Amino acid sequence: MRVSRLMLVTLRDDPAEAEIPSHKLLLRGGYMRRVASGVYAYLPLLWRVLSKISAIVRQEMNATGALETLLPALQPASLWERSGRWQGYTAGEGIMFHLVDRQERSLGLGPTHEEVITALAADLLRSYRQLPVSLYQIQTKFRDEIRPRFGLMRGREFIMKDAYSFHADEADLRLTYARMDQAYRRIFSRCGLRTVAVEADSGAIGGSASQEFMVTAAAGEDLILSSADGRYAANQERACSLPEPAVPLVCPSPEAVELHTPGQHSIEDLCAAHGLEPSQTVKVLLLLARCAIGQARVVLVSLRGDQQLNPTKLANAVSAAVGEGAGALLELEPISAEQIRSEGLPEWPLGCLGPHLGDELLSGARSWHPAFLRLADATAAELDVFVCGANRPDTHLVGARWEALGGARPSVADLRSAQPGERCLQDPTQRLEASRGIEVGHIFQLGRKYSQALEATFTNEQGLDEPLWMGCYGIGVSRLAQAAVEQHHDQQGICWPVAIAPFEVIVVVASAQDPVQVALGETLHDKLEQAGLEVLLDDRSERAGVKFKDADLIGIPWRVVVGRGAASAQVELVERASGAKSEMAADAVVAQLQQTILAARGGLALGSS
């Protein structure tokens, strides 16, 4: 391929819209253009990268025995109503693009395909004799993200590989899950990525066990907490740790004593004013939970004063507490004084709340459920004696005890965010370290959530019908491409790993005016292609410096410079990533590159997709 025919337009300046290196470089290198917020045109160079990643994904998925398929992006609402996810995915902060067709039927653009695949499974899978079976597809997904970000990192339209497995029992699901785990590790390693597998929250997809694969990079959106020995790693949303022990509260009197605390509405103010430690206090947070079905509920969360609330864990706890009858949890937001007023309720002593806040405060609420949903983190529930709000303005209680406070006791759950520096649960001698990661893959054991909802059953060996066991497995293909750039770049530009580079070699003719150089460049290009390599020939009549800069920017792993030595058939070979240069005979360079590159491809032969 000739650069002059490549429609290559590189930019000298960073586009103002890009913030992180990979986004800037993909725009500057002429790999993509933004069409709308979170929507990108993949230009020819990027499409080659995406195709190579897809080819690796295909090989590894096929090796697990999964079958490639292609499901519709346009999906009927009725299917999503059957799984109970239509509301959650379209109302409130739902992310599904949806529309109404000329027959007034509601449709959505697939953000994921559990519904479609499960309906197909219900239709096609009848007997345990057909199981297990796995299907996958590589396809464009649509998600109306609340905030698209960083180019391909969080797009509203993006390429994803999603796979679904079906099993007769849970043990078999675990086997495939483990096989997918191994396949994923091979995929990322073949793409040249350093990844870490972390325990993850299952989120809206649901199900039990799940694991994310993170490309470690400073620009990552997720915080990973891991032990130094690498045996424990989890997304902060999910991570657990041993909290520091609370500082004991010395309290001579068995009765709680009132403390005048004017204007001390935060834990910091309270502790500073009275010489207390945050771990001696219990703070109370009020949130409003809106579910698809039923009244909004006020959630009263008790946390030890030094702990941070983990919104993901709280959302899971609330969902579990309200039960399936309430449908999907649509929204969980802190309550404001205005909201309390607009419910027609008298003012609450915000800032001085205690865990024993009575349900009578909710009586007469216009739309809210008349009782608090009471939850407490274990660190708070374990305190024998503590400081908390007195539920009266400017007043706290010192020496409060759960049994003495009276009122309804909260359900105890893990609601706190693990923090870097805390001790690991499985090995208290180690402490959690923080790093950032880009989530490029996520695997789930879904269990029977979707098969039950969509009545996807099979007949087991005993002749009885039962719901299928399911797993699902995603890779963000377009995100992976950008994550690779985030991990492999320098001041000059991208340094693609050979396995996913758009081209493997670029032959740069230093002077397009010199017929000897031009001829040698052409010859080399042809020979390298005949050797089975993917070769770019920079035949433009630019000055050498411009071509070198562009070659570095677009990040082709190997550069062959045909220049001054052309008359004596000498060329220069430069490795992009290391910058290592060597002079050699033009004849020798073909064999050398063939050997090096074929090895670096990791078994992916040309055109093997």
Partner RNA sequence: CGGGAUGUGGCGCAGCUUGGUAGCGCACUUCGUUCGGGACGAAGGGGCCGCAGGUUCGAAUCCUGUCAUCCCGACCA
Q: Does residue 479 bind RNA (CB under 7 A)?
A: yes
Q: Does residue 222 bind RNA (CB under 7 A)?
A: yes
Smaller CB distance to RNA: residue 5 or 564?
564
Among 179, 396, 442, 525, interactor with RNA by CB under 7 A: 442
Minimum distance from residue 134 beta carbon to RNA (Å): 17
Smaller CB distance to RNA: residue 143 or 283?
143
Among 256, 413, 454, 574, interactor with RNA by CB under 7 A: 574
3-state secondary structure 367-399: CECCCCEEEEEHHHHCCCCEEEEEEECCEEEEE
d(CA 311, CA 573): 53
Q: Does residue 440 bind RNA (CB under 7 A)?
A: yes
Q: Which stretch binds RNA (CB under 7 A): 9-17, 74-82, 121-129, 419-427?
A: 9-17
Q: Does residue 315 bind RNA (CB under 7 A)?
A: yes
Q: Which stretch binds RNA (CB under 7 A): 54-62, 307-315, 586-594, 599-607?
A: 307-315
Footprint of RNA on residues 102-121 (CB under 7 A)?
A: 112
Q: Which stretch binds RNA (CB under 7 A): 121-129, 375-383, 424-432, 472-480?
A: 472-480
Cβ contacts of 524 within 8 Å, gap of 6 or more: 507, 560, 562, 571, 586, 589, 590
**Do residues 355 and 300 touch, judged by C-beta distance below 8 A?**
yes
Minimum distance from residue 530 beta carbon to RNA (Å): 23
3-state secondary structure 115-174: HHHHHHHHHHCCEHHHCCEEEEEEEEEECCCCCCECHHHECCEEEEEEEEEEECCHHHHH
Smaller CB distance to RNA: residue 57 or 256?
57
**Do residues 442 and 200 touch, judged by C-beta distance below 8 A?**
yes
Smaller CB distance to RNA: residue 24 or 356?
24
Q: How many residues bind RNA (CB under 7 A)?
A: 70
Site track for RNA across 238-277, x = CB under 7 A: ----------------------------------------
Q: Does residue 155 bind RNA (CB under 7 A)?
A: yes
Minimum distance from residue 128 beta carbon to RNA (Å): 28
**Do residues 479 and 240 touch, judged by C-beta distance below 8 A?**
no
Minimum distance from residue 5 beta carbon to RNA (Å): 14
Among 52, 85, 143, 283, interactor with RNA by CB under 7 A: 143
Q: Does residue 14 bind RNA (CB under 7 A)?
A: yes
Q: Does residue 150 bind RNA (CB under 7 A)?
A: yes
**Ordered DSSP codes for 13-34:** SPPTT--SHHHHHHHHTTSEEE
* Token pair recorded at residue 6: 């490549």
d(CA 249, CA 267): 15
Footprint of RNA on residues 543-572 (CB under 7 A)?
A: 543-546, 548-550, 552-553, 561-565, 572
Smaller CB distance to RNA: residue 170 or 221?
221
Among 71, 95, 285, 321, interactor with RNA by CB under 7 A: 95
Minimum distance from residue 155 beta carbon to RNA (Å): 5
Footprint of RNA on residues 177-216 (CB under 7 A)?
A: 203-205, 212-213
Which one, of 185, 187, 163, 174, lies nearest residue 57 by Cα?
187
Among 207, 243, 476, 557, interactor with RNA by CB under 7 A: 476
Minimum distance from residue 595 beta carbon to RNA (Å): 22
Q: Does residue 15 bind RNA (CB under 7 A)?
A: yes
**Ordered DSSP codes for 583-598:** EEEHHHHHHHHHHHHH
Strands 581-585 and 570-575, bridge-based pairing: antiparallel
Residue for token pair 């035949």: 539
Smaller CB distance to RNA: residue 14 or 427?
14
Among 5, 7, 11, 74, interactor with RNA by CB under 7 A: 11
* Token pair recorded at residue 391: 């539920």
Amino acid code (one letter) for 91: A
Q: Does residue 221 bind RNA (CB under 7 A)?
A: yes
Burial 437-475 (b: 16+ CB within 10 A, else e): bbbbbbbbbbbbbbbebbebbbeeeeeeebbbbbbbbbb
d(CA 569, CA 520): 8
Per-residue CA distances from 404 to 89, 384, 601 (Å): 44, 10, 69
d(CA 144, CA 62): 31
Q: Which stretch binds RNA (CB under 7 A): 277-285, 370-378, 403-411, 435-443?
A: 435-443
Minimum distance from residue 457 beta carbon to RNA (Å): 25
d(CA 488, CA 482): 10
Cβ contacts of 486 within 8 Å, gap of 6 or more: 20, 21, 22, 215, 217, 219, 438
Smaller CB distance to RNA: residue 13 or 461?
13
Cβ contacts of 187 within 8 Å, gap of 6 or more: 56, 57, 60, 441, 475
Smaller CB distance to RNA: residue 25 or 454?
25
Ramachandran bin of 169, using left for φ above 0, alpha for ψ from -120 to 50, beta for the remaining angles: beta
Chain centre distance of CA 595: 37
Site track for RNA across 51-90, x = CB under 7 A: ----------------------------------------
Q: Does residue 441 bind RNA (CB under 7 A)?
A: yes
d(CA 244, CA 421): 10
CB atoms within 10 A of CB 20: 18
Q: Does residue 422 bind RNA (CB under 7 A)?
A: no
Smaller CB distance to RNA: residue 358 or 515?
515
Minimum distance from residue 146 beta carbon to RNA (Å): 4
Q: Does residue 474 bind RNA (CB under 7 A)?
A: yes
Burial (0-12, 13-18, 19+ Cβ within 10 Å), 495: buried
Q: Which residues form the interface with RNA (CB under 7 A)?
A: 10-17, 19, 28, 34, 36-38, 93, 95, 112, 143, 145-150, 152-155, 158, 160, 203-205, 212-213, 221-222, 311-312, 315, 439-442, 474-476, 478-479, 492, 510-511, 513, 543-546, 548-550, 552-553, 561-565, 572, 574, 581
